[in-house]
Structure 1
Amino acid sequence: MSVESLGEAEYRRVWDRFHAEFAFKPSTDRFQWPGIDEPAGSVTWSLSALDDDPGYLLLDRMVSAVRRGLASCADELYALDWQHESYRFPTSAKDWPLSPFPDGDYHCYLTPDFALGTFGHPWEYTVCVFGDALVTAVSAELTEILGDPLRRSA
């Protein structure tokens, strides 16, 4: 299996489920943030540490840490880009679509059962990691790169 764009029906089904399960509230209004009901056990980091990152070394480290963590926990993922093309792909794929960094829109990586993944919020400028195995796999490295978490969901 390779990277596949979601067809219209699957795109709608996945996004409708995401809206329902995570109470997704897209908004630039800070009073509407964090944008989703962050799952129990999730950890959210500010991305502000990446602001002074000439050469994007910290960004590259963050992306690598998240991708390694996801690959260690899952065989297949959805890569969702709000109001844009979204994908299904194996974690063994050489080139992954999108990034955990929310480059202008919400970006999500999700397992097909929605049990673990990431949610990047472009206006809050955060990345939320959820699912016990994934949080365990990436927390130490993301904290080293991004600093202490902004919040943890009980």
Structure 2
Amino acid sequence: MSVETLGYSEHRQVWHRFYADFAFRPSTDRFQWPGISEPSGSVTWSLTALDDDPEYRLDRLVSVVRRGLTACADELYALDWHHDAYRFPTAAKDWPLSPFPDGDYYIYLTPDFRLGTFGHPWEYTLCVFGEALVTAISAELTEVLGEPLRRSA
């Protein structure tokens, strides 16, 4: 059980599907945000609360998201816009990337695209989607980040 870097063909296939399924529109222009068509039932939090106590809150954010994804999925993709993408079992000791979008779009996604997270670096938000994942982590994320910025119907 280890992290695998996606090969060229799979990398292109996964990103192509992500662009299509989520209407991904990368942009630093705030009029183009949120960057994806947020799936029905998704919840999006602002990450500005991390500025108050970045080390503690960031560690909690990562822990909450990782626990939730581990409880809801056996395998994930980790996508980093214009960089390597990975496939890995949630049981892996070391995960690639973080749910926190550190200067680029960071995405965790199940291979069937049913649940995951979308970190937007310029809007400074984290969107959580998929009913099981939203249910598993919403309360704790709200403790860490404050009330959600928006919810998709």
Residue 93 of structure 1 is matched in structure 2 by 92
Note the alpha carbon deviations across 1:36-85, whole angstroms, 9 max, x for none.
0000000000000001225x010000000000000000000000000001
**Corresponding letter in the other structure for 1:5:** T
Q: In the comparison of the two structures, how many residue pairs are matched?
A: 153
Q: How far, CA to CA, are the matches of 2:63 and 2:7 in structure 1?
A: 28
Residue 126 of structure 1 is matched in structure 2 by 125
Q: How far, CA to CA, are the matches of 2:142 and 2:60 in structure 1?
A: 12
Q: What are the within-5 Å matches in structure 2 for residues 23-38 of structure 1?
A: 23-38=23-38
Residue 143 of structure 1 is matched in structure 2 by 142
Scaled by the length of structure 1, the TM-score of the pair is 0.98
Helix, strand or coil at the partner of 1:138: helix
1:147 CA displacement = 0.1
Scaled by the length of structure 2, the TM-score of the pair is 0.99
Q: How far, CA to CA, are the matches of 1:145 and 1:50 in structure 2?
A: 8
Q: How far, CA to CA, are the matches of 2:6 and 2:24 in structure 1?
A: 20
Q: How far, CA to CA, are the matches of 1:75 and 1:85 in structure 2?
A: 21
Q: How far, CA to CA, are the matches of 2:62 and 2:152 in structure 1?
A: 22
Residue 70 of structure 1 is matched in structure 2 by 69
Q: How far, CA to CA, are the matches of 2:68 and 2:96 in structure 1?
A: 16
Among all aligned residue pairs of Structure 1 and Structure 2, give the percentage whose two residues are the same amino acid: 80
The answer for unaligned runs of 5 or more in structure 2 is none
**Corresponding letter in the other structure for 1:69:** G
- 2:13 is aligned with 1:13: yes
- Structure 1 segments, 4+ long, off by >6 Å, are none
Q: How far, CA to CA, are the matches of 2:135 and 2:52 in structure 1?
A: 27
The answer for unaligned runs of 5 or more in structure 1 is none
